[in-house]
């Protein structure tokens, strides 16, 4: 399947131009609107197909039309601020949403359109892998991702991606619609805009599904209606968020990665898995045939709380023999909600045959988890069986965390204020927890931090300035506190109201060891390359080698130009910062880079009388070849 980044209204961009358009989408023009305090959020839309982007043809039949989606977005004032976008980016720039009254961040988004667009009923595991790899490819260029997908198999794709995207630190939302987004009456517009706003403004490091008014965990949803605008439900887990007049996010319900590792994709799935649904009078031959090679994993949909007929020894025998051959069988209930349990003899008997209880996983989550676990070649069979019992991405219910009311401080304060509802306790907790966590960080109290996690606090909750405990810890410079927060699930990508991430703070306080830890956990430089170049040039102009080392540790390009085309070497040469020049030369930076005036770093040093810098750069000066006229040659 080929892909196209669609940024223009009149040009179809093919895969060969993806890098150019991606740079255009993420490296905006500083010459326009330079006086505006610009805070951007960049979102990538992966448009795979589905009803949401379809257009009615001359027969009034819904059909996908290649390269039409982004063009029509530009014609809708709710989805494209033409005046602002063209003034800032030009007519071929990325898409920009109108400014929200409640948010002071511009949402810039780019459409990656798949070709051909596909109906979700035709989706395969290869398509899931393709989506995961696209997110991987553009992960550092965008703040969030929205996948537009047909509704029929959306829950399968969401479940699969939740397992494949390992150590995820950014928001990924799948959505679709029952009616096309461009119809006069449609649920598509709300689903699209809400998903875009959430992906841009809220840090929810999970694969989610947004539909109707609910934001769900992706591996907890099932499609429950072919006609309702509330087409999806999460039968065994509450929504992560609810969109009405305001968006309410239950941060304590989020399941963050707590591993000190960088985001990566497990781009492999085992296709030898299937679902076997029990029904009265099911034959032995059918079950036996189903359990034959090449099958390696089976989701068994049993009755009620995990029950099988107790008088069918023939079925029990086939299941036992299958597990002894190494087939992993996971038992889940056929009921829309609830979980399997050993409360009945038949469920216990199943478990004794080697069948694994799937707790309260959905059929989609159980199947895709099996495909994921069985593809892990470095895990032995027993490890794979154990992983199917383990809560990897919030797909099954393990032990419950205490509710907010169980924390004495919140309870005492709440009761003194006359608070009684859970929603009000949540709001109070969102105010108190950041203050408590931040105080523990400042006090370097590791025990208190761990205890707060036990009470269900969301370690990445923000204070009034949008800053998290990790921001503060990076400023304070205590390595063990930083490690503790990361193990508790602190997110390295959260931006405060000043557009600063924890990595930004670590760089500006030159916390080199902390920068290394953050990079290990997937942190990366945010914002325009030109803006980063400005900061490095400033450091070079004052001789701040330590700061330049900080940027180097954060994978900064020490040859990056600022908006005037100058590099850190230009500024170091201009101000005769010899140690900086030596440091940059040791890093093999570009020395023959011209600024907008056509000057090299050597030219800066010579013009400014920076004798030492001029001497160091003299050997880097390009040779001038003088052409001799043929008539004067001897």
**pLDDT of amino acid 461:** 86
**pLDDT of amino acid 432:** 76
Contact 220, 396 (CB under 8 A): no
CA 159 → CA 46, 126, 216, 364, 483, distances in Å?
17, 14, 11, 7, 29
Phi and psi at residue 597, in whole multiples of 5°?
-95, 0
CA separation for the pair 627, 112 (Å, rounded): 49
Residues 6+ apart with CB under 8 A from 216: 208, 209, 210, 232, 234, 237, 239, 240
The alpha carbon dihedral of 12, 18, 24, 25 has a sign of positive
Percent over 90 (pLDDT), the chain = 70
Q: Which residue shows structure tokens 């919140």?
A: 410
The string of pLDDT tens digits covering residues 149-168 is 999 999 999 999 999 999 99
**pLDDT of amino acid 35:** 38
Q: Which residue shows structure tokens 């009945």?
A: 344
Percent over 70 (pLDDT), the chain = 86
> If residue 606 lies in a helix (H) or strand (E), which one and from where to where?
helix 601-608
The pLDDT of 355-363, averaged and rounded, is 95
Contact 195, 175 (CB under 8 A): yes
**pLDDT of amino acid 62:** 82
The model's pTM: 0.89
When comparing pLDDT for 533 and 17, which is higher? 533
The string of pLDDT tens digits covering residues 407-445 is 455 555 655 666 555 566 566 666 777 888 899 999 999
Tokens of 290: 């189903």
**pLDDT of amino acid 630:** 47
With DSSP H G I counted as helix, E B as strand and the rest as coil, what are the percentages for the chain, rounded to 5?
40, 15, 45
- Name the least confident of 25-29, 322-326, 376-380: 25-29
Residue 535 pLDDT > 80: yes
Residue 405 pLDDT > 80: no
Residue 619 pLDDT > 60: yes
CA 379 → CA 41, 373, 401, distances in Å?
39, 8, 29
CA 472 → CA 30, 204, 220, 432, 519, distances in Å?
30, 20, 34, 16, 17
**pLDDT of amino acid 627:** 47
Q: Indicate the pLDDT class of residue 100, thresholds 50, 70 and 90.
A: confident
Q: Indicate the pLDDT class of residue 281, thresholds 50, 70 and 90.
A: very high
CA 526 to chain centre: 14
Contact 193, 79 (CB under 8 A): yes
End-to-end Cα separation, the chain, in angstroms: 62
Q: Is the preceding omega at residue 139 within 30 degrees of 0, hence cis?
A: no
Burial (CB count within 10 angstroms: exposed 0-12, middle 13-18, buried 19+), residue 36:
exposed
Q: Running DSSP on this structure, what letter comes out for residue 40? A: E
Residue 142 pLDDT > 50: yes
- Name the least confident of 28-32, 319-323, 461-465: 28-32
Secondary structure (3-state) at 145: strand
- Residue (of 189, 124, 540, 601) closest to 371 by Cα position: 124
The pLDDT of 311-337, averaged and rounded, is 95
Q: Please give the angle made by the CA atoms of 273, 278 and 281, to the nearest 5 degrees.
A: 135
**pLDDT of amino acid 410:** 58
Q: Indicate the pLDDT class of residue 225, thresholds 50, 70 and 90.
A: very high
CA separation for the pair 346, 350 (Å, rounded): 6
Contact 260, 486 (CB under 8 A): yes
**pLDDT of amino acid 426:** 61
Secondary structure (3-state) at 297: strand
When comparing pLDDT for 182 and 322, which is higher? 322
The string of pLDDT tens digits covering residues 556-592 is 999 999 999 999 999 999 999 999 999 999 999 999 9
Q: Indicate the pLDDT class of residue 234, thresholds 50, 70 and 90.
A: very high
Contact 147, 46 (CB under 8 A): yes
CA separation for the pair 277, 171 (Å, rounded): 34
Residue 235 pLDDT > 80: yes
Contact 160, 125 (CB under 8 A): yes
Residue 599 pLDDT > 50: yes
**pLDDT of amino acid 7:** 43
Contact 473, 513 (CB under 8 A): no
Tokens of 325: 């051959």
When comparing pLDDT for 187 and 404, which is higher? 187
When comparing pLDDT for 193 and 248, which is higher? 193
Residue 455 pLDDT > 50: yes
Query: 329 forms bridges with which residues in the sheet?
Result: 298
**pLDDT of amino acid 12:** 37
Residues 6+ apart with CB under 8 A from 101: none
> If residue 2 lies in a helix (H) or strand (E), which one and from where to where?
strand 2-6
Strands (E), 508-603: none
Residue 39 pLDDT > 90: no
CA separation for the pair 390, 383 (Å, rounded): 10
Point out the residues that are catalytic: 51
The pLDDT of 352-380, averaged and rounded, is 96
Residue 201 pLDDT > 70: yes
- Name the least confident of 151-160, 272-281, 304-313, 615-624: 615-624
- Residue (of 137, 193, 136) closest to 167 by Cα position: 136
What DSSP assignment string belongs to 504-535? HHHHHTT-HHHHHHHHHTT----S-HHHHHHH
Q: Please give the angle made by the CA atoms of 417, 421 and 426, to the nearest 5 degrees.
A: 80
Residue 597 pLDDT > 80: yes
Contact 257, 205 (CB under 8 A): yes
**pLDDT of amino acid 28:** 47
Residue 464 pLDDT > 90: no
- Name the least confident of 104-108, 140-144, 428-432, 526-530: 428-432
Share the mean pLDDT of the chain: 88
Residue 73 pLDDT > 90: yes
- Residue (of 369, 362, 64) closest to 224 by Cα position: 362
């Amino acid at each position: 399947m080929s892909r196209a980044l669609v940024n223009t209204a009149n040009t179809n961009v093919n895969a060969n131009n993806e890098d150019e358009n991606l740079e255009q989408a993420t490296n905006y023009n500083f010459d326009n609107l330079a006086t505006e305090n610009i805070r951007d959020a960049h979102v990538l839309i992966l448009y795979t197909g589905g009803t949401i982007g379809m257009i009615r043809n001359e027969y009034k039949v819904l059909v996908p039309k290649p390269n039409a989606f982004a063009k029509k977005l530009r014609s809708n004032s709710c989805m494209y601020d033409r005046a602002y976008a063209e003034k800032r980016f030009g007519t071929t720039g990325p898409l920009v949403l109108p400014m929200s009254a409640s948010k002071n961040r511009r949402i810039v988004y780019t459409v990656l359109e798949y070709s051909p667009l596909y109906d979700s009923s035709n989706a395969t595991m290869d398509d899931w892998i393709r989506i995961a790899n696209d997110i991987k490819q553009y992960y550092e260029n965008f703040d969030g991702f929205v996948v537009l997908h047909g509704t029929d198999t959306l829950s399968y794709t969401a479940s699969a991606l939740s397992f494949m995207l390992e150590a995820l630190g950014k928001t990924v939302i799948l959505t679709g619609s029952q009616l096309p987004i461009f119809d006069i009456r449609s649920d598509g517009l709300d689903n699209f805009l809400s998903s875009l706003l959430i992906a841009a403004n809220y840090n929810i490091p999970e694969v989610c599904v947004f539909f109707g008014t609910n934001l769900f965990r992706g591996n907890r949803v099932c499609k429950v209606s072919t006609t309702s605008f509330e087409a999806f439900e999460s039968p065994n887990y509450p929504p992560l968020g609810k969109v009405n007049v305001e968006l309410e996010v239950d941060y304590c319900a989020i399941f963050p990665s707590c591993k000190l590792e960088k985001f990566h994709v497990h781009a492999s799935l085992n296709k030898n898995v299937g679902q076997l649904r029990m029904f009265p009078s099911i034959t032995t031959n059918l079950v036996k045939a189903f359990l034959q090679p090449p099958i390696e994993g089976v989701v068994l949909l049993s009755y009620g709380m995990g029950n099988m007929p107790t008088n069918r020894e023939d079925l029990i025998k086939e299941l036992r023999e299958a597990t002894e051959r190494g087939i992993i069988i996971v038992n889940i209930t056929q009921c829309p909600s609830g979980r399997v349990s050993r409360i009945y003899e038949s469920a216990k008997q199943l478990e004794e045959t080697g069948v694994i209880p799937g707790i309260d996983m959905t059929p989609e989550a159980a199947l895709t988890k099996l495909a994921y676990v069985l593809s892990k070649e470095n895990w032995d069979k027993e490890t794979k069986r154990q992983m199917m019992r383990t809560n990897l991405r919030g797909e099954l219910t393990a032990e419950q965390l205490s509710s907010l009311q169980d924390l004495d401080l919140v309870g005492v304060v709440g009761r003194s204020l006359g608070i009684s509802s859970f929603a009000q306790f949540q709001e109070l907790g969102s105010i108190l927890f950041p203050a408590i966590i931040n105080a523990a960080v400042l006090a370097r109290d590791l025990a208190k931090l761990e205890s707060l996690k036990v009470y269900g606090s969301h370690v990445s909750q923000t204070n009034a300035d949008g800053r998290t405990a990790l921001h503060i810890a990076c400023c304070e410079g205590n390595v063990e506190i930083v490690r503790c927060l990361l193990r508790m699930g602190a997110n390295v990508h959260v931006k405060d109201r000043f557009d600063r991430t924890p990595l930004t703070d670590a760089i500006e306080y030159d916390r080199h060891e902390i920068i290394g830890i953050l990079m290990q956990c997937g942190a990366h430089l945010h914002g325009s390359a030109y803006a980063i170049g400005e900061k490095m040039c400033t450091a070079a102009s004052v001789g701040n080698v330590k700061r330049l080392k900080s940027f180097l540790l954060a994978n900064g390009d020490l040859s990056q130009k600022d908006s005037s085309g100058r590099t850190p070497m230009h500024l170091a040469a201009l101000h005769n910062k010899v140690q900086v020049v030596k440091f940059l030369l040791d890093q093999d930076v570009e020395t023959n880079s011209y600024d907008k005036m056509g000057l090299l770093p050597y030219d800066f040093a010579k013009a400014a009388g920076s004798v030492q810098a001029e001497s160091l750069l003299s050997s880097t000066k390009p040779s001038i070849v003088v052409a001799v006229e043929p008539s004067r040659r001897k």
